[in-house]
Amino acid sequence: MIGPGSTIGILGGGQLGRMLILAGRALGYRFVVFEPKGPCAAGMVADREVNAEYSDEAALTRFAESVDIITLEFENIPAEVIDTLSAIKPVMPGKQALHICQHRQREKDFLKSSGLPCVPFEYADSAESLKAAVTAIGFPCVIKTAAFGYDGKGQIKLNAEHESEDCDYLWDFLGKPPRVVVEKWIHHIGEFSVVCARKADGSKSTLPMAENVHVDHILHASIVPARVTGATRRAGEALACKIADLLDVVGLIAVELFLDESGQLIVNEMAPRPHNSGHYTIEGCFTSQFEQHIRAVTDLPFGSTELHGPTVMINLLGDVWEKGEPDWSALLNDPRCKLHLYDKGEARPGRKMGHFTVMGDEIEETLKRANRHFSELF
């Protein structure tokens, strides 16, 4: 067990790291953040922030030597970095989970070979093979770069055949990536996610399934409890647990799901770290995803993930700052609403700047109140 008072190193300096640290601090842990460019949102609440490139081996070594264990809040960490670090200190969730989840082709291959439900897909590595892949999948479909995509970046949706006519142009537009995945666009009736925490001994704890609303491929809102049957909720939790076991995760894994018209859950993608759709757990659950992650990697017992009641989380993207600092008074005057700001500086459109969480006694009323607060910001 890595007891309170120990130091946890975090790779990545965004808001996920920031909220991990705020949860871990309450348990008495210390934190060092590794992030190429500073000052960063996580570094501001850490004991120390290291600003160096992932290619700087000396800096990585000094970072590893200054902490007891290492975890991450960002999955695009090169495999060599994990090798360098894990020779010095334990790195969680570990190389396998990271390697698979950071690349859409490996992720899809893993799902398919494990017999888990996933969307029909093809790969391409040239304009020519893109044309063939799009033809094979049909319309509508979505092209996604295999690596470094997030919040809908590196994605193009094609609605009809004429949109795919110029695959040379599409290929250039994507920046001639080494590889893309072409997926069938699923006419889902909803999107959901389950965050599962797992310890080295294989014990697991899932957080309540969230129902997620996306706008322009970016998460807008999470609604909990998800408005689905108990059987669907249990099926989602079982999928997340199975994936956590297969990938031998230590820490968190978030599993994003589509629910299709026949009532079947399909795995969209996975992230081996805290997830935006789990932010609601800070107020909504007895133990948050962030605290559960700290407990998993330090081998403390899990806390209860019991839901306090209907909870809605809404993201605050940079777009909300279009006319300057928003007026938070309606949010702050609601005694059952909590505002989180990440202190990230410049509010660019699409950039995740904060979120707010609304609690209530009944889910539809809670959702209405959350939507009203959101619309009042513009």
Which residue's entry shows tokens 């970072």?
A: 63
* Smallest distance from Mg ion to CB 214, Å: 8
Residue 151 interacts with ligand ADP (CB under 6 A): yes or no: yes
Residue 260 near ligand ADP by CB under 6 A: no
256 binds ligand ADP (CB under 6 A): yes
Shortest distance in whole angstroms from residue 220 CB to ligand ADP:
10
Angle at 255 between CA 25 and CA 278, to 5 degrees: 35
Q: Which is nearer to Mg ion, 32 or 142 (CB)?
A: 142
Closest approach of Mg ion to the CB of residue 42, in Å: 21
Site for ligand ADP contains 274 (CB under 6 A): no
SS3 23: helix
Return d(Cα 134, Cα 156) in angstroms, integer: 12
CB of 219 to ligand ADP, least distance (A): 7
Looking at the Cβ atoms of 268 and 288, the one nearer to ligand ADP is 268
Give which of 254, 253, 241 is closest to 203, Cα–Cα.
Answer: 241
From 61-69, 79-87, 146-154, 340-348, span contacting ligand ADP (CB under 6 A) = 146-154
Instruction: Report if residue 107 touches ligand ADP, rule: CB under 6 A.
Output: no
Query: How far is C-alpha 288 from the geometric centre of its chain's CA atoms?
Result: 15
Least spacing, CB of residue 118 vs ligand ADP, in Å: 10
Q: Which residues of 333-353 are buried (b: 16+ CB within 10 A; e: fewer)?
A: ebeebbebebebeebeeebbb
183 contact choice in Mg ion, ligand ADP, none (CB below 5 to 8 Å, kind-dependent): ligand ADP
Distance between CA atoms of 315 and 213, rounded to whole angstroms? 10
Residue found under tokens 């009532």:
263
Q: Is 179 in the site for ligand ADP (CB under 6 A)?
A: no
Binding mask 189-208 toward ligand ADP (x if CB under 6 A, else -) reads --x-----------------
As measured in angstroms, the least distance from the Cβ of 142 to ligand ADP is: 5
What phi and psi values does residue 300 have, to the nearest 5 degrees? -85, 160
Burial label for 7, CB within 10 Å (0-12, 13-18, 19+), is middle
**In angstroms, what is the minimal distance from the CB of 136 to ligand ADP?**
15
Q: What are the residue ranges of helices labelled H in the chain?
A: 15-26, 57-65, 79-86, 95-101, 104-113, 127-137, 167-173, 230-246, 281-284, 289-298, 329-333, 363-375
Residue from 139, 185, 302, 328 binding ligand ADP (CB under 6 A): 185
222, 289 contact by CB (below 8 A) = no
Query: Which residue's CB is nearer to Mg ion, number 49 or number 256?
Result: 256
Are 310 and 362 in contact, with CB atoms under 8 Å apart? yes
Whether omega for the bond prior to residue 310 falls within 30 degrees of 0, making it cis, is no
Query: Whole-number minimum distance, CB 148 to Mg ion, in Å?
Result: 13
CA distance 99 to 160: 33
274: DSSP letter: -
Q: Which of 22, 27, 59, 186 touches ligand ADP (CB under 6 A)? A: 186
Looking at the Cβ atoms of 149 and 208, the one nearer to ligand ADP is 149
Minimum CB–partner distance for residue 150 and ligand ADP (Å): 5
Stretch that binds ligand ADP, among 149-157, 223-231, 314-322, 365-373 (CB under 6 A): 149-157
Chain residues binding Mg ion by CB under 5 A are 256
Please tell me the distance from the alpha carbon of residue 255 to that of residue 275, in angstroms, as a whole number.
Answer: 9
Instruction: For the chain, report the end-to-end CA distance as a whole number of angstroms.
Output: 48
d(CA 157, CA 232): 28
- Asked if 217 touches ligand ADP (CB under 6 A), the answer is yes
* Binding partner at 142 among Mg ion, ligand ADP, none, C-beta below 5 to 8 Å by kind: ligand ADP
Interaction site with ligand ADP (CB under 6 A)? 119, 142, 149-152, 183, 185-186, 191, 214, 217, 256, 268-269
